[in-house]
C-alpha cells in the first residue's frame, strides 16, 4: 500500500475513534437522568423566586395601642380635664407622673394659680408646681421636686391654653416606698385623682 493511502486510512480511523468517544461521553452524562423528571431551572418559579413556597400574605396594619389612662378628672370651676397616663417609679428615687390637660372653659385660660402656695415656687406660675401626692396608707404627703433656683421639675404652660387646647404635662416627686402602689394626685382646685404606681425598667 502506498504511503498516501496509508495516511488516509489512519485519518479515517482517528475520526471514527473521536466520534465514538464523543457519543459515549454524551450518553454517559445523560444516561442516569432518563427516568427522572426535569428539575432544571427552566421550571416556572413562584413570585418570590423560591419554588415550593407560597408568597407571604401582606400583613394587615395593626391599630395603634390605646394610651393607658390611670385617672381622668374634670373640674376646677372652668371645665378643665386632667388626665394621668403614667406614674413611674425609677431607680433614682423619683416618681414621674405624666398625662394631658385640656381647656374646656370655652375661652383662653392660663393656670397661674397652679404654682402652689409655697414661696419657693412663686416664680413657677402657670405650671404643675402646685401638684402633690398623698399616700393615705403611709399617711405622707409628697411635694413636687425643685432645683436649687426654685424651679419645679415639672411642665410650665408658657402661653396658657387656647379654647379646647390640649397639652401634655409631667411632674416629678420623691418616690414613695416600694410597698406603696397607690397614691392620690391633686393640684389646685381639681378633684383628687387616685393613681397606681408602676416600676420603671
Tens-digit pLDDT profile for residues 18-53: 444 434 343 444 444 445 445 444 444 445 544 555
Q: Please tell me the total count of domains within the chain.
A: 2
Same domain, 14 and 99: no
* 3-state SS, residue 191: coil
Q: What confidence tens digit (pLDDT) does each residue in 56-65 have?
A: 555 555 555 5
At residue 76, the pLDDT reads 78
Q: Give the other-Cβ count within 10 Å of 140's Cβ.
A: 14
Q: Of residues 86 and 36, which shows the higher confidence score?
A: 86
Residue 44 lies in a domain: no
Are 119 and 111 a contacting pair, CB within 8 Å?
A: no
Sheet with strand 132-135: strands edge to edge: 140-143, 132-135, 182-186, 193-196
Residue 126 lies in a domain: yes
Q: What is the pTM of this model?
A: 0.66
Residue 56 lies in a domain: no
Tell me the residue range of the domain where 153 lies. 71-199
Measure CA 2 to chain center: 96
Same domain, 191 and 97: yes
How far is residue 53's CA from residue 17's CA, in Å, rounded to a whole number?
49
Q: Which of 3-12, 109-118, 140-149 has the lowest mean pLDDT?
A: 3-12
Residue 55 lies in a domain: no
Band (16; pLDDT cuts 50, 70, 90): very low
Q: Of residues 117 and 147, which shows the higher confidence score?
A: 147
Amino acid at each position: 500500500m502506498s504511503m498516501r493511502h496509508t495516511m488516509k486510512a489512519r485519518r479515517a480511523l482517528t475520526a471514527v475513534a473521536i466520534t465514538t468517544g464523543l457519543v459515549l461521553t454524551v450518553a454517559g452524562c445523560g444516561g442516569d437522568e432518563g427516568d427522572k423528571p426535569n428539575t432544571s431551572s427552566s421550571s416556572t418559579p413562584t413570585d418570590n423566586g423560591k419554588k415550593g413556597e407560597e408568597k407571604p400574605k401582606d400583613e394587615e396594619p395593626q391599630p395603634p395601642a390605646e394610651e393607658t389612662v390611670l385617672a381622668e378628672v374634670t373640674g376646677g370651676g372652668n371645665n378643665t380635664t386632667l388626665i394621668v397616663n403614667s406614674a413611674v417609679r425609677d431607680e433614682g428615687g423619683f416618681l414621674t407622673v405624666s398625662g394631658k390637660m385640656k381647656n374646656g372653659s370655652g375661652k383662653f385660660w392660663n393656670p397661674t394659680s397652679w404654682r402652689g402656695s409655697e414661696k419657693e415656687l412663686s416664680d413657677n406660675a402657670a405650671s404643675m408646681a402646685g401638684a402633690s401626692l398623698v399616700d393615705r396608707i403611709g399617711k405622707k404627703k409628697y411635694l413636687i421636686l425643685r432645683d436649687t433656683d426654685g424651679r419645679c421639675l415639672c411642665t410650665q404652660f408658657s402661653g396658657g391654653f387656647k379654647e379646647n387646647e390640649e397639652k401634655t404635662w409631667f411632674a416629678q416627686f420623691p418616690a414613695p416606698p416600694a410597698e406603696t402602689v397607690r397614691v392620690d394626685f391633686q393640684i389646685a382646685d381639681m378633684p383628687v385623682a387616685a393613681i397606681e404606681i408602676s416600676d420603671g425598667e
